[in-house]
Chains A and B, each alone.
Chain A
Amino acid sequence: MNSQSSPEPILRTPLYDAHAAAGARFVSFAGYEMPVQYKDGVLAEHRWTREHAGLFDVSHMGPALLTLDHPTDDPEANHLAVASALERLIPGDIAGLKRGRQRYTFLLNEAGGVLDDIMVQRPEPGDKQGRLFLVVNAGTKTNDFALIEQTLAGTAKLTPLIDQALIALQGPEAAAAFTALVPEASELMFMQGRRIVWDGGVLLVTRSGYTGEDGFEIMVDDEAAPVLWDRLMRDDRVKPIGLGARDSLRLEAGLPLYGHDLDETVSPVEAGLTFALSKRRLAAEDFPGAARITRELAEGPGRVRVALKVAGAPAREGAEIATPDGAVIGRVTSGGPSPTLSRPIALAFVPPAFAALGTPLQAIVRGKPQAAEVVALPFVPHRYVRQP
């Protein structure tokens, strides 16, 4: 979140007019004027996404293409070369990524802190040049792109895809609604992607998202984006969803939000995201901050991210977390009402001694202690459609 003192004019996505026509209320977010909600409001939009299909404009995020400078005739060698270059900045296994597969990983600093959490996708068969698609967060994209460009200079070139919009369709009816329009997308499983020709243009579709539901993220040309948006909106199962519900949906899914649950001081181990650390990379210790991360894996980190259910008023970002006898041991990094569970939920960092499921704690809201308890992540089960 770097919304302060930006001298640049506020940006609009290619879908701004569509949002306005749908009754959006706009807020400034990461330099963009984005819909925070539409006419039905955050609660209704949240529930619609859990029950049907929610349509999101996420064009403020940063898609980019990483291309090997000097490809050879060997497609596999080209992939290894571009993957190895990116692996200098991240702890994930990109070299081992199968064609078409997408992976969640992090840009790390030398202290093992998370500079950003990002998606990396290897193109499907047909690509021979050694290319990777990246999607980084809106608030961090300028710094991310500069870091990748500098580190990979001479090996690979980063091209921000500034003329591309990003649309997400999420929810139990997302697959039915999307494949009615784009039948080929039915062949994708969770964290797979492919190029699909649609309406004379090209879509880059991945089966992924930020709600815990099944669904798709679709990269589409700026010019074609309103056409695709309108075609999806014509489906009765689909309603537009603003950033307000996007946040409450991802919180219920236990997915961290950069700048809140993750920042430059937080390691992937502290954040409980060790699934995204590659065994090969950990053994080689060949990524930024590897010393801290391997030490934390061996000895345990000093703090860990926990999920809390809270009684009473919502405990929001910054609220202190205390033991039952009042000793402050941590803070909430994301929190609010859970529309699905009809109670407040929160993510917080606490010492590992207080992280066991069922541990009684207190959340301090407006000076008043309220009962809280460590519960399992995610708060609401994921419903991804995985490869059988």
Chain B
Amino acid sequence: MRFTKDHEWIELIGDIATVGITAYAAGQLGDVVFVETPDVGKTVKAGDPLAVVESVKAASDIYAPIDGTVVEAHTGLSDEPETINQDPEGRGWFVKLKPGDPAQIDALMDRPGYEAFLDTL
């Protein structure tokens, strides 16, 4: 699992990468009450808005950690947005991407690197 400074995680299994938000991000957002996921087939560049999560207070964008094409969106989150708070780095995943360039994943922070980054915040 790799991490971005915007607090997304990405995990490559086979040739499909799963994307979600970190436990830290879920804690900062508070209770998620609404999720908007992208349509399958959408292509994104690293840094593009990929999904939206909303708490009582505010809406926040989730950004694509890498270039890719959406192959699956976790539409079940619409009915159970609390999954994101309960298990952000597991059942609370947002999107599965077919990476444009899998090497972009390796360039992201690993867990110790991300934890060191969190210590600077």
Contact = CB atoms under 8 A, between A and B. Distances in A.
Interface of A: 36-37, 41-44, 46, 244-245, 247-248, 313-314, 316, 336-337, 339, 344, 366
A43 B36 CA distance: 19
Interface of B is mostly: strand
Given A313-B52, A366-B52, A43 B59 contact: no
B1 interface: no
A46 B31 CA distance: 12
A36 B30 CA distance: 11
A314 B34 contact: yes
6 contacts: A36-B57, A43-B33, A313-B36, A313-B59, A314-B34, A337-B34
B13 interface: no
B43 interface: no
Interface string B4-43: 0000000000000000000000000011011010000000
A244 B34 contact: no
Contact of A43 (B34, B52, B54, B56): B56
Contacts, number: 43
Given A244-B56, A336-B56, 20 more contacts: A36-B57, A41-B31, A42-B55, A42-B57, A43-B56, A44-B31, A244-B30, A244-B57, A245-B56, A247-B57, A313-B36, A313-B54, A314-B54, A314-B59, A316-B58, A316-B59, A337-B33, A337-B54, A337-B56, A339-B33
A101 to B, nearest CB: 34
B31 A42 contact: yes
B45 to A, nearest CB: 19
Contact of A339 (B34, B52, B56, B59): B56
Nearest to A27: B57
Contact of A42 (B34, B36, B56): B56
Contacts of A313: 34, 36, 52, 54, 59
Contacts of B57: 36, 42, 244, 247, 336
A333 B11 CA distance: 40
A313 B33 CA distance: 9
A248 B56 CA distance: 7
Interface in B27-81: 30-31, 33-34, 36, 52, 54-59
A322 B117 CA distance: 44
Nearest to A344: B34
A319 B20 CA distance: 27
Nearest to B61: A366
Nearest to B56: A42
In the A-B complex, the 5 residue pairs with the smallest Cβ-Cβ separation, listed nearest first, are A43-B31, A42-B56, A337-B33, A41-B30, A41-B31
A342 to B, nearest CB: 9
Nearest to B82: A43
